Amino acid sequence: MVSTASYEARAFGVGSGMPLRIAARKVPDAVILPVDQEAYLAASETVMATLRAQPGVTVQVLGWDEAFMGIETENPEAIARQVQAAVLERTQLHCSVGIGDTLVRAKVATGFAKPAGVFRLTAGNWSDVMGSRPTRDLWGVGTKVSGRLAKLGINTVAELAASDPQDLVPEFGPKMGPWYAELGRGDGAGVVDDTPWVARGHSRETTFQRDLTDPAQVDDAVRELTARVLEDVLAEGRPVIGLTLKIRYAPFVTTTRARKIPVTSDGNEILAGALGLAAGIEAGRPIRLLGLRAELAMPDDARKGHTPTRGGW
DNA sequence: TCTGGGGTCCTAGGACCC
DNA sequence: TCTGGGGTCCTAGGACCC
């Protein structure tokens, strides 16, 4: 699949998540490169180091190519241009900068800054810029939630912003309901948190080119996944407290099944646990995907559940 | 066209306890 | 024998993000 595409390719309708075959049909002379994680990670580290080197900033990394920078200034655009120049000089990479008075506004602003630009979104222009847009354009609202909001008569960001947070509780629960209303207003945390990231777990998964039917194949696959997960876990050096085997049966749309068991960090016990979970697989049903996740013990002081930013780093 | 891989957090419901 | 009410913990599944 296409992980990402250049702006030139996007002009032809190519984008993330598209099967390669389709992309190649749309742009027959496109240059298609394999994923090179090591190169991206190295570039990412240089970029993040460049951000951290800026005077007076707090940096919160969101992914390989994205970070919040916290700073108080009278002229954020000047800082933005300065950062872009510094990143370009050190890495030959262009970046876009969204400026905001909350994390959500800054994040959403980045979309308007692309490519390689700067855009400011604050309480002052939020409703002008975002109000008439579909809720799907918000960071944290996907197709499912925008559909459920539509059922409640909420289609635009302005309508979401005007909604009573309590009215959303029956549909989305005590936490997510009020949070969506806040999201509609662009409100929320305004402070960048540079607390070092603590991983909650590590996982590996494989989609098989040919569905697995033979128990011996499943056994092999589980052993291989376990070894790969263990690599990350050992590098982490923290205790494993749970193990989940994800099973996706062949017609792709059928449900994913997961089973969790408590386990200790001993490699043999983890393998035994994974194999035990695999023993629960329905006999004879072709398997399309297997995934194994090890949940790690959290240090007592680790924060949990206070940020709307899922998929942290 | 129909699907990659690695993550996080929330919710509902059941089990169990007092 | 059946029932109140409150709390915690755990699991399975859902949704979203990069």
- At A257 the pLDDT is 63
Q: Which residues touch strand B (CB under 7 A)?
A: A 1, 3, 16-19, 21-22, 172-177, 199-207, 228, 232, 252-253, 289, 291, 293, 304-305, 307, 310-312
CATH match for A201-304 among 3.40.50.2300, 3.40.50.970, 3.30.1490.100, 3.40.30.10: 3.30.1490.100
Closest-approach nucleotide to residue A208, Cα vs C1': B4
User: Which residue has its C-alpha nearest to nucleotide B5's C1'?
Assistant: A205
A66-70 and A201-212: which strand pairing?
unpaired
Q: Which residues of A are catalytic?
A: 66
Measuring CA to CA, how many Å separate A89 from each of A26, A42, A49, A109? 34, 16, 13, 24
- At A255 the pLDDT is 55
- At A179 the pLDDT is 95
Q: What does the domain layout of chain A look like in residue ranges?
A: 7-121, 126-185, 201-304
Measuring CA to CA, how many Å separate A308 from each of A4, A94, A141, A166, A223? 25, 27, 11, 18, 35
Mean pLDDT of A55-83: 95
User: Which residue has its C-alpha nearest to nucleotide B4's C1'?
Assistant: A1
User: Which residue has its C-alpha nearest to nucleotide C14's C1'?
Assistant: A144
Give the bases of strand C that a protein CB approaches within 7 Å: 10-18
User: Which residue has its C-alpha nearest to nucleotide B2's C1'?
Assistant: A19
A107 touches strand C (CB under 7 A): yes
Distance A121 CA to C3 C1' (A): 57
Residue A59, pLDDT > 50, answer: yes
- At A266 the pLDDT is 81
- At A250 the pLDDT is 79
Question: Which class is A126-185 in CATH?
Answer: mainly alpha
User: Which residue has its C-alpha nearest to nucleotide C12's C1'?
Assistant: A258
The confidence band for A285, taking pLDDT boundaries of 50, 70 and 90, is: confident
Distance A14 CA to B1 C1' (A): 12
Distance A254 CA to C13 C1' (A): 13
- pLDDT, tens digit, 9 for 90 and up, residues A294-305: 989 887 666 544
Distance A60 CA to B3 C1' (A): 31
Closest-approach nucleotide to residue A201, Cα vs C1': B7
The rounded distance, in Å, linking the Cα atoms of A87 and A108 is 21
Q: What is the mean pLDDT of chain A?
A: 89
The confidence band for A123, taking pLDDT boundaries of 50, 70 and 90, is: very high
Mean pLDDT of A55-74: 94
Give the bases of strand B that a protein CB approaches within 7 Å: 1-12
Strands (E), chain A: 58-63, 66-70, 97-100, 118-121, 201-212, 240-249, 256-262, 287-296
User: With respect to CATH, is domain A7-121 assigned 3.30.70.270?
Assistant: yes
- At A69 the pLDDT is 97
- pLDDT, tens digit, 9 for 90 and up, residues A197-231: 889 999 999 989 888 988 899 999 999 999 999 99
Closest CA to A177 of A186, A167, A169, A189: A169
- At A259 the pLDDT is 66
- At A120 the pLDDT is 98
- pLDDT, tens digit, 9 for 90 and up, residues A139-178: 999 999 999 999 999 999 999 999 999 999 999 999 999 9
- At A312 the pLDDT is 38
Long-range Cβ contact pairs of A168-172 (< 8 A, separation 24 or more): A172/A145, A172/A148
Task: Tell which wins on pLDDT, A118 or A252.
Answer: A118
